[in-house]
Structure 1
Amino acid sequence: MSIFRFPLLVWMGIATLIISLGIRQSFGIFMMPISMHFDTGREFFSLAIAVQNLLFGVFQPFVGMAADRWGAQRVIWAGAIAYGLGLYLTSIAVEPNWLFVSLGALVGLGLSATSYVIVLGAVARVVPAEHTAKAFGLTTAAGSFGMFAVIPGAQYLLSEFNWHTALQVFAMLCALMMAFSFFMKANHQKSASTATPQHELTLKEALKEAFSHRGYWLIHIGFFVCGFHVMFIATHLPSYLADKGLPGSAAAMALAYVGIFNIFGSYFWGVMGDKFSKRYVMSALYIMRTLVIAGFVTLPVTTDTAALFGGAIGFCWLGTVPLTSGLVRQIFGPRYLSTLYGLVFFTHQVGSFLGAWFGGRIYDYYGSYEPIWWTTVALAFLAALIHLPINDEPLYQPKAA
């Protein structure tokens, strides 16, 4: 199936992710103006963002259950309201503590209802199983494209107006996600690719079945490692490069390459997941991460090696998303994908929290990032190994048309 023949729902999902994740990835440039406005220092804003990410993961399984029961359309619509309200309340906050409710809880809830888990769950219902990973890869790439589509606009609004106006414009953008959601009603008619006995299961039975499947727990462990990697690198790479004497522009360039190459990498790994066994492709991805990270901490750190690392790690940055969600869909079917993948995503966010926290904790204890870098290498190799024994045989075979 050509990507141009994907149903309209897929493209509306991509547009939703561009806005939702694009706004999320721009929050870093708001740290200085908001911190200066409230005179709180950077730690307070960082804590609000940390609460947002943790609640993003906590809300995700429950929002996924709601999507499986009432459909992605309603969940995205409600999530866009929560997202926009959180941004607007942040823009008019008169006390810094408001940010824990607005930027933390409300935006965290909005993100859980308008990001990967919900959109991929909807996509799984309209795309044939043999093209799922490709569709998931294309959809995942939208998140990185959002970084380039939204962040320059945010910087322009900050320079020409102020952070209040910028957040209010973003709040209005959430109305677009509400509009897109009206085109995201999946056809629940049984088709050759989705009509399986799984439709007869209750949610409780589906959860019991997943929790008794060893492969499901191995998928959790693998995605935990992914979250650990992503947040450790995103949070601590700039400081690591500064410790090595590199200018701030080197870190900015490295992170830009992460975003650029992730666009291509997400789609590439998704296509590979359609052509070959997803568990083997996932193992190959983690082997690549192992070699890339080990090479980076072994070679001299220069502006060139930092840029090369950004591009290489970016290529396998979020390629795990279409493969992980594709594995869950392949084994358990599309019916409860938002719930089952939502639980896996929560594990990813736990890894993200620990990756960001342990990075600073270990640096303060040892005075160096070297131990945590080599920990990420070991975790990458472990993740490559644990995907190999996953039994990826579908529990429910499609019925004949």
Structure 2
Amino acid sequence: MHMNPPKLSMFQVLACGAAIVTLSMGVRHGFGLWLQPITQEMGWTRQSFAFAIALQNLSWGVIGIFAGMAADRFGAFRVLMGGAVLYGLGLAGMALSPTPLLFALTTGLLIGAAQAGTTYAVIYGVLGRQIAPERRSWAMGVAAAAGSFGQFLMVPVEGWLIASLGWQQALLALSMAVLLIIPLAFGLREPGFQGAAPPKRDQTIGHALREAFSYPSFNLLMAGYFVCGFQVVFIGVHMPSYLKDNGLSPQVASYALALIGLFNVFGTYIAGTLGQRMPRRFILSFIYLARAVAISIFLLVPLSPLSVYIFSAVMGTLWLSTVPPTNATIAQIFGVQHLSMLGGFVFCSHQLGSFMGVWLGGYLYDATGSYDIVWYIAIGLGVLAGLVNLPIKEAPIQRAQPQAA
């Protein structure tokens, strides 16, 4: 057996990882605030803005697989450094793009790639490798809760920046702020990745992928995560317009998004903690079925600011609470050698769902004049995801013999 390198302290990994996720996720959570100022000043359609954000979700998902491979092979540190630089460039491009095409390339492709290198898949790879299995789900819950707090914190900050600096200068200020990820990344330099030779591995990337995709539970996790992406991004992007169409003030939408971010903190922490104590497939099934019930009740009761706030608090609790149990289950089944890459594949499925949720929301609204059909699809998918998570096997996979690297 080869010697295991020394571990980083749990506090250091959690503090630096949580701060990076707070910045990276917090900035993107407020992008909806720029929709009106940018489209009005530049004379663009809403669809051109929505397309860039949809492209960002796809870019994040697809590039996340390769960012995960690189993080597993060379350590998270280098991937985080690259992601931070791309984030700064992407936000500057978002501020300065003169045409919808350039806007799509910077806001979409560049920022999507930056998020792939600075969010959950990469950070969770470090947590998986550096934190003992009996605390892993809890630690993933803490990191996700921090990211949720970032969403709650950053939206009002971004609103204030736009109001005081104007939308363009606000984006340039954020492009500087995300470079703080670089010093934070130094706290996640893992022992064993510092030398020229990467750590020895028992499995090649090809073996790991063949094993995962031929294992039904991995595909069921991916199916559930597709639904997660569809629901949260449809609601996050289109709910403000849905509320406005129904005569509620823009203030209600702002408070609703902030409440989702706040309750998300509790939901992700509770899900991560429960994941140490009970089967995670039951936690995931409950989350998806509860979302379907919450959306159904929201559509049945008369719409009012109070019903919106209650719905936002309930959905917030269920929002990213799927993240810790899903990633901890992948680590438990397959081990941590290829955790960032496998997490990247599952997350890519989430982002395909996100793309469908955002795009279908806009497409069906234009076609029918209402969001009703998309709400019904979100309910149906929630029931489906609740059911497909039940047969997942969480036990570590049995391997016949070590596979040569």
**1:135-176 alpha-carbon deviations (Å, 9 max, x no partner):** 111111222211233233323332222333222221222221
8 Å Cα contact 2:55-2:355 kept in structure 1: no
1:34 maps to which residue?
38
1:2-401 to structure 2, matched below 5 A, reads 6-188=10-192, 199-395=201-397
- Superposed displacement of residue 258, structure 1: 1.0
Give the counterpart letter for 2:251 in structure 1.
Answer: S
Secondary structure of 1:324's partner? helix
Structure 1 CA distance for aligned equivalents of residues 282 and 28 of structure 2: 32
**1:66-89 alpha-carbon deviations (Å, 9 max, x no partner):** 111111011001111111122223
Structure 1 CA distance for aligned equivalents of residues 145 and 268 of structure 2: 5
Q: Which runs of 5+ in 1 are unaligned?
A: 190-197
8 Å Cα contact 1:126-1:187 kept in structure 2: no
- Counting matched residue pairs gives 385
Percentage of pairs with the same residue: 38
1:192 maps to which residue?
none
**1:229-283 alpha-carbon deviations (Å, 9 max, x no partner):** 1112112222333343333332222222111101111101111111111111111
Structure 2 CA distance for aligned equivalents of residues 300 and 89 of structure 1: 42
CA 1:396 to 1:16, structure 2 compared with 1: closer, same or farther past 3 Å? farther
Question: Which runs of at least 4 in structure 1 moved beyond 4 Å after TM superposition?
Answer: none
Secondary structure of 2:130's partner? coil
Give the counterpart letter for 2:164 in structure 1.
Answer: E
TM-score (norm 2): 0.89
Note the aligned Cα RMSD (angstroms).
2.0
- Superposed displacement of residue 125, structure 1: 0.8
Which stretch of the first structure deviates more once superposed, 96-105 or 375-384?
Answer: 96-105
Give the counterpart letter for 2:236 in structure 1.
Answer: A
8 Å Cα contact 2:54-2:358 kept in structure 1: no
CA 1:329 to 1:97, structure 2 compared with 1: closer, same or farther past 3 Å? same
Which stretch of the first structure deviates more once superposed, 364-373 or 376-385?
Answer: 364-373
Structure 1 CA distance for aligned equivalents of residues 27 and 96 of structure 2: 18
Structure 2 CA distance for aligned equivalents of residues 391 and 135 of structure 1: 22
- Superposed displacement of residue 96, structure 1: 4.4
Structure 1 CA distance for aligned equivalents of residues 45 and 283 of structure 2: 44
8 Å Cα contact 2:50-2:358 kept in structure 1: no
